[in-house]
Structure 1
Amino acid sequence: MDETSGSLQWRVPAGLPAAKLAGAVLLVALGLLFADGDPVRVAVAVLAAVALAGWAVRDLVAPVRLAVDPAGLTVIQGFAGRRLLPWSAVETIAVDRRPRLGLTSETLEIDAGSSLHLFGRYDLGATPEEVAAALRAARPVS
């Protein structure tokens, strides 16, 4: 969480894009190492690496996923765009917990009526529960 000029921001953890880029390089290396001359294996490894690298680039270009200020919430939209959700448009702020494979995943859900915005721990750099509490505290009382 960053506090900048009266607003709070949540961003992708700094090491995550580097890990994704390292994974992309590893995919290409493994694809070349285990291809055995098969161009399809190399192509699949390269395509997967390009997708992973594109995901890392998004983290570098638009690291801030969610911000809050007195006007409302600013959420990421599309690849690297931003969208302001005025407080009047925000219907609910909730945390969805789901058990899966012995682990519990948490997702921050911001329901703005015509749109639903979902954020995980690695989008925010904090637990969804902490962010939900901060958003509820920042919401003006009407």
Structure 2
Amino acid sequence: MDETPPVRQWRVPSSLPAAKLAGAVLLVALGLLFADGDPVRLTLAVLAAAAVAGWAVRDLIAPVRLAVDPAGLTVIHGFAGRRLLPWSAVEAIAVDRRPRLGLTSETLEIDAGNSLHLFGRYDLGATPEEVAAALRAARPVS
């Protein structure tokens, strides 16, 4: 019997789009409250709210940011598209750590030669270190 590893996916936490949509509503409310009849302030608040809402819509349309299977990695591409990176195209899987303002940020980097794919904790719903370890374990030995 052929044992193929199951497909594993990493996605945006479900609470994140809700928080972004609440932020968009808050921006509009603050714009209405503090615009004082100034159409420029209100317009800026509505544009900022639309941008945040668009960001939330992307999380709702394409919540899965990264998936792995025996064929390779599937990454998000563009606003909500997907792109398969065969294992032969994946040159490196690394975690970049950078201290900033007293905090350390981690980013998962997938180097596919002609493209570099970056994922943070909120893209994956897990720490980049955990995901990198899972990807390395799923990679076929050549």
Please state if 1:125 is matched with 2:125: yes
1:70 aligns with 2:70: yes
TM-score, L = length of structure 2 = 0.96
1:91-110 alignment runs, 5 A limit? 91-110=91-110
Letter of the 1:103 counterpart: L
- Give the length in aligned residue pairs: 138
Per-residue CA deviations over 1:54-89 (Å, capped at 9, x if unaligned) read: 000000000000000000000000000000000000
Q: Secondary structure at the match of 2:23?
A: helix
The residue number in structure 1 matching 2:112 is: 112
Q: CA deviation at 1:7?
A: 0.4
Match of 2:18 in 1: 18
Q: Give the CA RMSD over aligned residues.
A: 0.8
What is the CA–CA distance in structure 2 between the aligned matches of 1:44 and 1:99, rounded to whole Å?
Answer: 33
2: CA distance, partners of 1:136 / 1:110: 11
- How far, CA to CA, are the matches of 2:36 and 2:103 in structure 1? 37
Distance (Å, rounded) in 1 between the aligned partners of 2:112 and 2:10 = 19
What is the CA–CA distance in structure 2 between the aligned matches of 1:14 and 1:70, rounded to whole Å?
27
Partner of 2:60: 60
Structure 1 unaligned blocks of 5 or more:
none
**1:48 aligned partner, one-letter code:** A
Partner letter of residue 116 of structure 1?
Answer: L
